[in-house]
Amino acid sequence: MDIHVRKLHKHFGNFAALAGVDLDIASGELIALLGPSGSGKTTLLRVIAGLEFPDHGQILFGDEDMAHRPVRERRIGFVFQHYALFKHMSVLDNVAFGLRVKPRRERPGEALIQARARELLELVQLGGLEKRFPAQLSGGQRQRVALARALAIEPRVLLLDEPFGALDARVRKDLRQWLRDLHRKTGYTTIFVTHDQEEALELADRVVVMNQGAIEQVGSVEQVYERPASPFVFDFLGGTNVIAATVQGRTVRIGETDIAALRDSLHPNGPADVYVRPGDLRVSDADAPGLEVTVIAVQRTGPIVRAVVEHGAGGQRLQVELPHLHHDVPAFTPGATLRLRLAQFSVYPRADRPAPQTGVAAPVLIGRERVRIEVN
């Protein structure tokens, strides 16, 4: 089922949880709604589900506007963060619930209901646990029961609210993989909410990055990570170094150094911010231009080496990350002076404002204002 959200607004008192959201979801897609808490992602999910009603706007399932239809008429599968299993019912009864509450003329026979519930439990790999009660299951198992229960009504769309939020890291990783497989097998249009960028990037076909009730960027995992539309998106997806710079024509200048040339001169001249990920800073070649830095500290954490370096007169500190076997690693010894190149970065024009931080108001910049370069 394809889903289209049109100009959706939702206020809670004076707080605008959704401020004009437009989104198109193709049938069979696996979509992540990603954002910090308070960004409106859960509200959007609940409005699509019908657990909240929008102030105005449309929610189209196909070409049918569902915005003001009650939940039970929407036939959606909703999985809650804390599972919301019926704790007085066995696993089988939980899964069968959606079939048993159907109006009599649509309700399958009891034998069929049980067969269907068992089939779903097999699908979520919980065969044999039919008689257990929710309290006797682990968190991961409960989440899978919740999923089987939601699938029982053959929903038009599957909605998951922070589905792995309450699980420990290990189980979360396994379940992600498993959900990806399940999606491939069943093909349900699926929307899930997460604040974990890694989860969104690993699972989703497309990621919707939200901030302050609006969508900052919609795109494939590659698009949002490699070509973030705004400082907010850049910052939210992974760590960020923000370096003050100036743009003159096609030249990007940090301090007294020209560090790169832009591909075109569409970028407005004047002060700008260079956004560069810790993993995109490398030791520059002998005579190439680069950022003069002094290494302050180096820390090895498993497969990644993290270094803190100080740059320029202002003494601004930058984070650098390297794979532990990278040939640059030996150069990072505390006290050493290095020249770094920016393997990949984004430039955003700077208005008179402090550099944006994660979760804090960042002005929305449209894609064109952003210029991206790869220096080889």
Partner 1 sequence: MSAVPSSLTIPRHNAAVTEAPWLRRLLIAVALVFLASFLLLPLLLVFTEALRNGVGAYFAALRDPETLSAMRLTVIAAAIAVPLNLVFGVAAAWAIAKFEFRGKALLISLIDLPFSVSPVIAGLIYVLMFGAQGWAGPWLIAHGVEIIFAVPGIVLATIFVTFPFVARELIPLMQEQGSEQEQAAITLGASGWQAFWHVTLPNIRWGLLYGVLLCNARAMGEFGAVSVVSGHIRGLTNTLPLHVEILYNEYQFAAAFAVASLLAGLALVTLGIKTWLEWRHGDALSATRRH
Residues of the shown chain interacting with partner 1 in the complex, contacts defined by CB under 8 A: 49-51, 70-72, 75-78, 80, 82, 84-89, 97-98, 101-102, 146, 149-150, 152-153
CB closer to partner 1 out of 12 and 297: 12
Of 357, 42, 39, which Cα lies nearest the Cα of 213? 39
Q: Angle at CA 209, nearest 5°, toward 358 and 234?
A: 45
CB closer to partner 1 out of 18 and 157: 157
The CB-of-159 to partner 1 minimum distance in angstroms stands at 8
Longest dimension (CA), the chain: 80
The CB-of-40 to partner 1 minimum distance in angstroms stands at 19
Half-sphere exposure of 326 toward its Cβ, with a 13 Å CA cutoff?
19
CA distance 151 to 184: 14
The CB-of-153 to partner 1 minimum distance in angstroms stands at 6
The CB-of-54 to partner 1 minimum distance in angstroms stands at 17
In angstroms, the Cα distances linking 110 to 100, 113, 124, 148, 150 are 8, 5, 21, 18, 18
CB closer to partner 1 out of 126 and 151: 151
55: Cβ contacts below 8 Å, ≥ 6 apart: 9, 10, 11
The CB-of-107 to partner 1 minimum distance in angstroms stands at 10
CB closer to partner 1 out of 49 and 233: 49
The CB-of-86 to partner 1 minimum distance in angstroms stands at 6
Residue 171 DSSP one-character state: H
CB closer to partner 1 out of 146 and 274: 146
CA distance 254 to 146: 53
CB closer to partner 1 out of 80 and 178: 80
Residue position matching structure tokens 């991961």: 140
The CB-of-80 to partner 1 minimum distance in angstroms stands at 5
* 19 sits in which H/E element: strand 15-25
Is the alpha carbon torsion for 63, 64, 66, 71 positive or negative?
Answer: negative
Pairing of strands 64-65, 30-34: unpaired
CB closer to partner 1 out of 148 and 305: 148
- If you count them, how many residues does the chain have? 376
Task: Return the SS3 of 223.
Answer: helix
CB closer to partner 1 out of 80 and 253: 80
CB closer to partner 1 out of 126 and 338: 126
CB atoms within 10 A of CB 6: 16
The CB-of-139 to partner 1 minimum distance in angstroms stands at 15
CA distance 33 to 27: 16
The CB-of-50 to partner 1 minimum distance in angstroms stands at 8
CB atoms within 10 A of CB 299: 9
